Every structure is written in structure tokens, then in C-alpha cells.
């Protein structure tokens, strides 16, 4: 499917934005790639790339972990597993059954062998959503999935629809669809958002649908927590 180029977000972190054509709207989606100390790669929310894109990724490191961060992000998982049979497929416990419908799941508690990269299920979501903390000398990156939408500059009927769903808007927000289907315990999720907001060197938040959050990410987390009060 359509996608842009791989771009470096930070030392050892790549991202690429693609599109999922849908009947009424093209939904932007983001893949994040994290390089571990030993050169292995963690692929978060896989997007199948063209030949040039895959060659660039393979020159960056060896794909070793395929993270399906939620049940709605299985689209390209089987294709990646077919290309890299050695991949360990990772998903949060609450999404294991759904993910296993398209690709065998190896673990819900991966051992990356790199203390700077931490995978966890998000409290308050019945373990259906995953998160990734990536620490680098210049700051920490928090990688989320459908928990936060931050699509900017959406226009036309598709933009209106994305705004109604809560994925698009003038500010980052917890989408209405996420609140209805994924958020099971608002108090627990609010506590987790505030916990992340205490990360002193938090540099950015990466979301699967929308722009990077790099302007005051700690403040954004506090505002998201307040929306759950």
C-alpha cells in the first residue's frame, strides 16, 4: 500500500508513514523501527514497504521482533513473518488470541536484551494495547498505538469522519472509538498517563495514527489524563 520514505526520528529509531485505503477515508498509519544494541531490529506495527524501502531497512539491522501492538494492527504481520521466518512475534496478552488468527504469536513478554527498550501492556486496556519506551542519550521516546490519535490537517469528508472518530483534530486526543472499545478502566489508564508524564527527559510520543508529538509531550500526557477524570 502507499507509503513514504523511512526517516530517522532519533538515534536508532526509524519511522515510516503509509496509508490504508478505506471505503470513505484513507487512514494514515505509522511503523516504528527500533535498533537494539546488537543491531537487531524491533518492528512496531509493521508496514510492508517497496523493494527500496525494505533494502534500506535491512541495511539498518536484522529484523528480529515483530510487535503487533493491538488487534487492529495485524494487516501486514503475516507478510513480514513470511519474509523473515525467524521473527519473534510479540503482542500484548489481551490481543494474543486475535493476533494468532493471522500469525503465530511467540510471546507477550519479549526479552530484547537491551535495557533501554521496554515493552509493556498499557494498564486500563485489559492488556489489549501495548507501549514501548525507548531511551536514548538525547531523551526518551514513548511509542503508543491506537491509544492516542494526532492526525492534523485532515480535510474533506474523510477528514470530517476522522475528526468524528477522534483520530483527527487540533490537539492529540484519546479517540472515541478507543474509549468505547479499548479503555476498560479509566482510573488505571489515567494513572499510567500521569506516570509517563513524570519521565523528565521525555522527548516525543509516537502514535500509530497521526503526527509525532514533540511539543511538550509531558503536558500532552497530563491533558490526556485530565480528559479521563
pLDDT digits (tens, 9 = 90+) for 87-138: 999 999 999 999 999 999 999 999 999 999 999 999 999 999 999 999 999 9
- Per residue in 76-112, is it b (16+ CB within 10 Å) or e — as a string? bbeebbeebeebbbbbbebbbebbeebbebeebebeb
Q: Say yes or no to pLDDT of 169 above 80.
A: no
Q: Report, as an integer, the average pLDDT of 142-150.
A: 92
Query: pTM (2 decimals)?
Result: 0.90
CATH topology of domain 7-226: Metallo-beta-lactamase; Chain A (3.60.15)
For residue 23, what pLDDT is reported? 59
Answer yes or no: are the C-beta atoms of 63 and 39 closer than 8 Å: no
Q: Say yes or no to pLDDT of 155 above 60.
A: no
3-state secondary structure of 192: helix
Distance CA 104, CA 83 (A): 14
**Placement of cell 475528526 in the chain:** 163
Amino acid at each position: 500500500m502507499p507509503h513514504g520514505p523511512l526517516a530517522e526520528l532519533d538515534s536508532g529509531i526509524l519511522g515510516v508513514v503509509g496509508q490504508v485505503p478505506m471505503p470513505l477515508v484513507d487512514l494514515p498509519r505509522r511503523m516504528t523501527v527500533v535498533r537494539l544494541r546488537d543491531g537487531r531490529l524491533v518492528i512496531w506495527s509493521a508496514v510492508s514497504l517497496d523493494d527500496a524501502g525494505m533494502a534500506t531497512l535491512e541495511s539498518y539491522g536484522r529484523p528480529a521482533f515483530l510487535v503487533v501492538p493491538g488487534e487492529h494492527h495485524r494487516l501486514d504481520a503475516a507478510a513480514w513473518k513470511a519474509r523473515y521466518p525467524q521473527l519473534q512475534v510479540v503482542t500484548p496478552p489481551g490481543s494474543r488470541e486475535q493476533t494468532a488468527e493471522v500469525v503465530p504469536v511467540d510471546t507477550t513478554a519479549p526479552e530484547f536484551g537491551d535495557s533501554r527498550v521496554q515493552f509493556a501492556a498499557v494498564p486500563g486496556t485489559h492488556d489489549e494495547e501495548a507501549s514501548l519506551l525507548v531511551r536514548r542519550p538525547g531523551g526518551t521516546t514513548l511509542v503508543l498505538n491506537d491509544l492516542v490519535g494526532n492526525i492534523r490537517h485532515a480535510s474533506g469528508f474523510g477528514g470530517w469522519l476522522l475528526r468524528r472518530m477522534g483520530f483527527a483534530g487540533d490537539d492529540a486526543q484519546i479517540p472515541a472509538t478507543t474509549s468505547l472499545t479499548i479503555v476498560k478502566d479509566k482510573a488505571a489508564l489515567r494513572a499510567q498517563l500521569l506516570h509517563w508524564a513524570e519521565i523528565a527527559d521525555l522527548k516525543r510520543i509516537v502514535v500509530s495514527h497521526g503526527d509525532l508529538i514533540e511539543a511538550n509531550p509531558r503536558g500532552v500526557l497530563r491533558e490526556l489524563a485530565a480528559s479521563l477524570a
